[in-house]
Amino acid sequence: MARRYPEDVIYQAMNMLNKRRRLNEETRQRRIDEAFSKAPRLREIQAEIRKNQAFVMNGKPGSKAGISAEKEILKLRAERDDLLKKHRIPKDFQAPVYTCEKCRDTGIVYMENEYCSCRNELILQIAARNSGFADMDLPSFEQFDLSLYDDEIATLGKTRRQFAAAILKYCKTFKGGNILLCGGVGLGKTFTAECVANNFMKMGKAVCYLSSTRMFLMLDEYKFGQDTSQTNRQKIALIYDSDLLIIDDLGAEFRSSFTESMLFDIINTRLMERKNTIISTNLDMDEIRELYSPRISSRIAGNYKCLTFYGDDIRTKKFHKK
C-alpha cells in the first residue's frame, strides 16, 4: 500500500538527507587531507597515475609507449601501497562515505525504482516529533498486557479483563472513525491511544497528540496574540487537518466559554470532514453530559465508539511486576 506523507514532513526528511550527504563528504575530504598530510608523495603519485592512465587510454593499443605507461602505473601503485602501509593509511581513504550504502544517502534505490527504507525511517521520526509525542519509542499492541486486568466482574456480567480484551481487539484493527476511551486513572487509556497512533504513523498518516490542557492553552495563546509563531500555527493546523487527532485527558482542562466553543468547533469540524479522532478521559458519558454543552455531548455520544476500561491502577501493577 502506498504511503501518503504531509509535504512539510517530506521536505524536512529531504533536507536531513542533504545535510547527511554534505557531512559525509566533509568527513571524506578530511580523511583525504589527513592522508596527504602524513604522506605528501601520495598526491603526486595519484596525479602521475592519472596521467599515465590517460596516455594508455588515448594511445595505440600495444604500442611501446602504452606498455611503458602501464609498467609505470604498476610501479606507482606499488610505491603508493608501500606508503599507505608505512603510514597506516587505509587503502580506501578516498572512498565515498555513506550513512546508507543502499541508496547512497539519496533516499532512493534507483536499481529498484523505490524509496529507501532509511528515508521512510526519517519521515516516521519527523512525523512523531511533529505529532506531539516526546520521542519515537511509541508502544505497540504487542506490549498490551491483559494479565494486568483481573477477573473481577465489572458490569454486564463481564470481567475487567474481558472488557480490556475487547478494547484491544477493536483498537488493533482500527482504521478510521472516532473513539472515546473512558475509565479511571492509570487503566491504559493513553497507552492504547499511543498504540493506535503508532499504527497510523507507520501507514504514513499525520497524527497530532495533545493533552486537553495543552491544546486549549495553545489555542488561547494564539487567539490573544501571545504565541503566533509558525510552530504554534502548524500545530493548530494539525488539530484540524491531521489524519488522527488524539485529545488526552479531556476534562482536566480549565473550562470556560472559550474552551467550550473551541472544543465544539474542533469536534464538529473533524466530524464534517470525516477526520479520525480519539478522546481519552476519566469521565464517563453521564459526566460528560453534565460538564459540557448538549451540542458537544450529543456529538460525542452519537459519533464516538465508547470504550470503557475497568480495574485498578495498572501502573502500580506494572511497577511491582518488574
In this predicted structure, what is the pLDDT of residue 296? 97
Q: Which CATH class is domain 133-321?
A: alpha beta
Q: What are the distances in angstroms from CA 297 to CA 128, 149, 213?
A: 30, 29, 19
In this predicted structure, what is the pLDDT of residue 7? 75
- Domain boundaries defined on the chain: 7-109, 133-321
Q: What are the distances in angstroms from CA 146 to CA 163, 190, 315?
A: 10, 15, 13
In this predicted structure, what is the pLDDT of residue 2? 35
In this predicted structure, what is the pLDDT of residue 135? 53
Q: Is 286 helix (H, G, I), strand (E, B) or coil?
A: helix
Residue 50, Cα to own-chain centre: how many angstroms?
A: 46
Burial class (CB in 10 A: 0-12, 13-18, 19+), 258: middle
Placement of cell 594508455 in the chain: 56
In this predicted structure, what is the pLDDT of residue 153? 94
Placement of cell 523505490 in the chain: 114
In this predicted structure, what is the pLDDT of residue 1? 28
Q: Choose among 33, 31, 23, 50: nearest CA to 90.
A: 31
Residue 62 is given by DSSP the state: T
In this predicted structure, what is the pLDDT of residue 229? 77
In this predicted structure, what is the pLDDT of residue 203? 83
In this predicted structure, what is the pLDDT of residue 3? 42
In this predicted structure, what is the pLDDT of residue 137? 72
Taking the CB of residue 194, how many other CB atoms lie within 10 A of it? 21
- CB–CB of 235/132 below 8 Å? yes
- Grid cell, residue 99, equals 550513512
Angle at 282 between CA 166 and CA 182, to 5 degrees: 20
- The predicted-structure confidence for 132-164, as pLDDT tens digits, reads as follows 765 557 899 999 999 999 999 999 999 999 999
- Grid cell, residue 286, equals 453521564
Residues of the chain with pLDDT under 70: 1-6, 60-62, 128, 130-131, 133-136, 315-322
- Grid cell, residue 241, equals 487537518
The structure's pTM equals: 0.66
Rounded Cα–Cα distance for residues 201 and 206 (Å): 6
Report the half-sphere exposure of 111 (CA within 13 A, side-chain side).
4
